[in-house]
Amino acid sequence: MSNISKAFENGKAFIAFITCGDPDIETTKAVVKAAVDNGADLIELGIPFSDPTAEGPVIQGANLRALSGGITTDKVFVLVKELRKDIDTPMVFMTYANVVFSYGAEAFIKTCREIGIDGMIIPDLPFEEKEEFSGLCHQYDVALVSLIAPTSENRIAMIAKEAEGFLYIVSSLGVTGMRSEIKTDLASIVKVVRENTDIPCAIGFGISTPEQAKKMADISDGAIVGSAIIKLIEKHGKDAPRYVGEYVKCMKDALR
**pLDDT range class, residue 206, cuts 50, 70, 90:** confident
**pLDDT range class, residue 196, cuts 50, 70, 90:** very high
pLDDT tens digits along 10-27: 899 999 999 999 999 999
pLDDT tens digits along 71-96: 999 999 999 999 999 999 999 999 99
Within 8 A by CB and 6+ apart from 153, the residues are none
**Start-to-end CA span in the chain (Å):** 25
Domains of the chain listed by start with CATH number: 3-255 (3.20.20.70)
- Report the amino acid identity of residue 13: A
Distance CA 209, CA 247 (A): 9
**pLDDT range class, residue 177, cuts 50, 70, 90:** very low
Higher pLDDT, 176 or 45: 45
What's the whole-number mean pLDDT along residues 146-175? 88
pLDDT recorded at residue 178: 47
Rounded (10°) CA dihedral 130, 136, 192, 223 = -100
